[in-house]
Amino acid sequence: MQIVEFLGVILMIVTSHGQMDNGKPTGLWLEEFSVPYEQFTEAGYVVIVASPQGGKTPVDPRSMPEELTEADKQALKVLESTISLEELQSPYKAVFFAGGHGTMFDFPNDENVSAVVQNAFEKDLPIALVCHGPAALVGAALPDGTAVVKGRKVTGFTNAEEQAVNLTKEMPFLLEDKLSEQGGEFSSKEIFKPHVVTDGNLVTGQNPASSKPAAEALLNLLKK
């Protein structure tokens, strides 16, 4: 039996929103949780999973593969019951925000989501957000009222990618535009190809394919 050293706690935050305004199902993009969750636990971290409302996490049906990996199966078990952010009390060393279109509806306007982001920036904790996960940055500000992304290098799901999946009109805003409007230095690469940006203790990933490298970047920050 392999003994893994306990290195601390990583907080993973997922959406609670399962339906777009037009009635289409949405939620968490499974790969953006299952892959990082596996990496964090295998590295020796305890992972606490929380969401704005707590309880079962809605998973976007479009993100469900035909054949589930063992990591997917484990992730789905964990996602059956998440902690409400309002009730979160456990200390943590880093935060990871998984994406999925559901985050565009609840992350920006949730006070508890913003509080976690603001706490990470104030204490300089490693924080990673992937795909639509950077929507959590939208509602967060520094103590002086400045948007947390102002002057920071970031990425996220691009306008071109949103257009490619035919969901531009279904979104309350476009993530690339919003992060840029708030002063973020937004960069991107070819659609659906991995792209991760690290600026200090802030890590952002462009799309689902960026999930693994974004998680690796967070682990590298923790090693420092």
Q: What positions carry a catalytic annotation? A: 131-132, 162
Q: Specify the long-range contacts of residues 192-199, CB closer than 8 Å, at least 24 apart.
A: 192/161, 192/164, 195/155, 196/155, 197/153, 197/154, 197/155, 199/152, 199/153, 199/154
Residue 164 vs residues 29, 80, 104: alpha-carbon distances, Å: 16, 30, 17
Query: What per-residue string of b and e applies to 157-196 under the rule 16 or more CB within 10 Å gives b?
Result: bbbebbeeeebeeebeebbbebbeebebebebeebbebbb
